[in-house]
Amino acid sequence: MNKLTKSLSSFVVPLISILLAFLVGMIIMVCMGKNPADALYFLGFGAFGNAANFGTTLSKATPLIFTSLCACFAYRCGVFNLGGEGQFIMGSVAACYVALRSGITGVPAMILCLAAGMAAGGVWGLVPGVLKITRGQNEMIISIMLNYVATLFMGVVYTNWLRDASVPQTEAVPNETKLPRVLTGMRFTYALVIAIVVGLLIYYFLFWTSGGFKLRAVGINMTASRFNGFPVKRYILTSFIVSGAIAGLGGAAELLGTQFRLINGFGAGYGFDGVAMALIGQLHPIATMVVAVFFAALRTGSMTMQAGTGVPTSVSDIIQALVIVFTVAGMALTKLPQFEQLRYRLRSRKGGNAA
Amino acid sequence: MNTAFIANLILATVRMAIPLLLISLGELYGQRAGMVNIGLEGLAAIGSLVGFLVSFVTGSNWLGLLCGALAGVAVNMIYAFATVTLCADHTVYGMAINIFAPALASFIYRVYFGSGSELSQITLMRGVAIPGLKNIPFFGDLLFNQTPMVYITVAIVIFTAIFFKRTQAGLNYKAVGEHPRAAATLGISVIRVKYLACVICGALAGIGGAYLTTCYSNTYTEGNVAGRGFIALAAVIFGRWTSGGILLACLFFGFCDALQIRLQVGSFGIPYQFFQMIPYIATIVVLTLIGAKQAGPKANGKPYRREQR
């Protein structure tokens, strides 16, 4: 397969998958006795209809961008970091501590919170990384176990250590420490700006620096990279730490920008969603960010859809899940030798007709 | 430390180990045919929901378990098609199942029960005492007065051990996971065995999930599988890909789970979440201690293309 058709199929397959997923979603709506056209209208309006709705979509997209970049970066180095959720949560816990207990407020506090979040996320990513390179352990299982540990640890924090009186949640971060909105009337904050900058930095690093080239080489073929003298283990460990730090930064930004306090369910599911988005985005940082916005649009829009037509929001969850199911299967399909033959045959027939 | 405490602990250990054991055995059948399925969590989630729903509607726990198994198989067929026929990456596709199946489960639950806060409940499966063995002092009441699922699961463990060690069919099956091309030259249909593996894996993982709602807790809550699908993966590694080893591994993880519940009751002023971490931390520690001596099937997770040499 030449380079052009490869990049074409990596663009077309997710697109077809999205259409197919919507088709299935519409069939489900018809089965529930709802009008799919109405539902789609409300879905689109809820996500992009006016400045406020679009702002909500972008604000919902922000944490997803962070966790999807986290998954994307690690997988580029050939390791599966499924611990995005745990790293995200540890980042938010660290940020929460700094925001509530350091006694400083304002911009210095913001910077300190974000740095603390990155550090905590990085440490949480370091654990599976170290176990992977020293003990050859399965990084997926370890990182998932750490997700549960992180969620429970956050539980300790909001039910005991930083508990807000009788309610099982932490106090809200001080108003001066909250990340400000970029535009009035739209809900997204500077967290989105940070997310986009991180995405662009990753893109630059992966595709325009020799370090990024080596990291991708490790991801494509570890043995060949080792024979080339690349420090494979160091790259794996670094990719875990950086990937964890990205998720941790996301957790801190989400706390300061949107949620303001730790509460039951904070960050739940973001890790796996991030993996899904990275895979749909073909592990390209910029495509991954676009996919994250798309997923967020589905989520925001589905609320309006539920209010307007009675179609439950979980239909949009099904659509999201189907997109990943179809995309991965579709990408595998285009790599099959039979598919290549089919394409070749089609092309030669077309050529025959022309001649 | 009194006898009642220990008795409760043993009882809870067995009850906690069974769902893990069912799911891990499913994974064992998968991996023995070279199918690394990390979608167990999703399969168990859908099995758990369907098992609950069918038990709720029909009032029969057995029908619930059966339908849970069927749901697991149905979802795992998507995985089988994508990985065996389309040669998709096992890990990536397992992840897709982990995202898809719980979304489907929660969708079905919300459509059927609405979004009310009221929890629907079912009656749990009752224990059946084995005459004779039940009269053994102390242990008799603990180990031989369980739900039928416990006995069935133990029977599956024994069957699996014999199947893989002593039968021609079992050896043929294992050959597919070790060296599919060699197996194919012996006339074994590799593709068929791989699909069969996915059917068994889906069914056992589905039953494992359904056990949680029909024999363990009488309600369905989102996320009730709580990582058991991944702990089961660890149990397969810890158990060295043998059914006996997996039995011990699952009893160990079940013990950790039972212990944390008992400790929560005692509490000692420590936040209960720290105790809840025990099974997950135990999994990490165990995996770290046994290291990377991978004894798994050689062709694990590798795609098989028949015409490729």
Report pLDDT digits (tens) over B232-246. Answer: 999 998 898 999 999
Nearest C-alpha in A relative to B285: A142
CA distance B203 to B64: 13
Q: What is the pLDDT of residue A156?
A: 92
Q: How confident is the model at residue A54 (pLDDT cuts 50, 70, 90)?
A: very high
- Of A316-325, B26-35, B77-86, B120-129, which range is least confident? B120-129
Residues of B in contact with A160 (CB under 8 A): 271
- In this predicted structure, the answer to whether residue A352 has a pLDDT above a threshold of 70 is no
Q: What's the confidence (pLDDT) of residue A67?
A: 96
Q: pLDDT of B134-163, one tens digit each? A: 777 777 767 777 888 899 999 999 999 999
CA distance B263 to B271: 11
The reply to whether B133 falls in a domain is no
Measured distance CA(B108)–CA(B112) in Å, rounded: 6
Which residues on chain A are in Cβ contact (under 8 Å) with B263? none
pLDDT at res. B59: 87
Complex ipTM value: 0.90
Percent of chain A clearing pLDDT 70 (strictly above):
97
A196 CB within 8 Å of a chain B CB = no
Q: Which residues of B are less than 8 Å from A145 in CB distance? A: 227, 230-231, 234, 280-281, 283-284
Cβ–Cβ gap A325/B81 under 8 Å: no
Contact B184, B306 (CB under 8 A): yes
Nearest to A137 among B95, B103, B292 (CB): B292
Q: Which residues of B touch A135 (CB under 8 A)?
A: 287-288, 291-292
Q: What tokens does A79 get?
A: 């390791």
Distance CA A230, CA B271 (A): 46
Query: What domain count does chain B have?
Result: 1
In B136-175, the residues whose Cβ lies within 8 Å of chain A are none
- Alpha carbon distance B73, A269 (integer Å): 25
Q: Using an 8 Å Cβ cutoff, are B59 and B251 in contact? A: no
**What confidence category does residue A355 fall into, taking pLDDT thresholds of 50, 70 and 90?**
very low
- In angstroms, the CA A120 to CA B146 distance is 45
**Mean of the per-residue pLDDT values for chain A?**
90
Q: Does A80 touch chain B (CB under 8 A)?
A: yes
By Cβ distance, the residue of B78, B276, B287 closest to A137 is B287
The minimum CA-CA distance between B30 and chain A, rounded to whole Å, is 17
Greatest mean pLDDT range, A198-202, A348-352, B219-223, B267-271: A198-202
Taking CB atoms and an 8 Å limit, are B104 and A321 in contact across chains? yes
| B81 at interface of A, judged by CB pairs closer than 8 A | yes
Tell me, what's the pLDDT at A122?
96
Q: Give yes or no for residue B84 having a pLDDT over 60.
A: yes
Q: Residues B3-11: contacts with CB within 8 Å, 24+ apart?
A: B3/B138, B5/B262, B7/B138, B7/B141, B7/B142, B8/B262, B9/B255, B9/B258, B9/B259, B9/B262, B10/B139, B10/B142, B10/B143, B11/B142, B11/B258
B253/A142 Cα distance (integer angstroms): 15
Measured at the CA of A101, the angle between CA A99 and CA A106, to 5 degrees, comes to 40
The pLDDT confidence band at residue B12, using thresholds 50, 70 and 90, is: confident
Q: What pLDDT, in 10s, does the model give residues A240-281?
A: 999 999 999 999 999 999 999 999 989 888 999 999 999 999
Arithmetic mean of pLDDT, B266-274: 80
> What pLDDT is recorded for position A354?
44
pLDDT tens, A6-52?
777 788 899 999 999 999 999 999 998 888 899 999 999 999 989 99
Model confidence over B97-128: pLDDT tens digits?
999 999 999 889 888 887 665 667 888 877 77
pLDDT at B231 over 60: yes
Residue boundaries of the structural domains of chain A: 59-268
**Domain assignment present for B158:** yes
Our CA-based measurement puts residue B145 at a distance from the nearest CA of chain A, in whole angstroms, of 33
Cβ of residue A157 closer than 8 Å to a chain B Cβ: no
Q: Which residue has the higher pLDDT, A161 or B268?
A: A161
The band of B206, judged by pLDDT with boundaries at 50, 70 and 90, is very high
Interacting residues of A131 by C-beta distance below 8 A, sequence separation 6+: A137, A139, A142, B284, B287, B288
Minimal CA–CA distance to B75: which of B213, B227, B229? B229
| Whole-angstrom distance, CA of residue B85 vs CA of residue B32 | 18
What span, in angstroms and rounded, lies between the C-alpha atoms of B34 and B177?
4
Q: Which domain holds residue B16?
A: 7-115+144-290
Q: At residue B36, does pLDDT exceed 80?
A: yes
- Interface check for B278 against chain A (CB to CB < 8 A): the answer is no
Quick one: how far is CA B74 from the chain centroid? 16
Nearest by CB to residue B230, choosing from A141, A329, A337, is A141
pLDDT-wise least confident of A126-135, B119-128, B154-163, B196-205 = B119-128
| Contact residues on chain B for A275, CB-CB shorter than 8 A | 95, 99
For range A221-229, the mean pLDDT? 88
A329 at interface of B, judged by CB pairs closer than 8 A: yes
Residue B171's CATH number: 1.10.3470.10
Residue pair A130/A108 in contact (Cβ under 8 Å)? The answer is no
pLDDT of residue A45: 93
Question: What pLDDT sits at residue B292?
Answer: 63
**Quick check: A227 contacting B, CB < 8 Å?**
no
Alpha-carbon span A146 to A159, nearest angstrom: 20
Best A31, A144, A220, A282 member to test B by mutation, with max B CBs in 10 Å, is A144
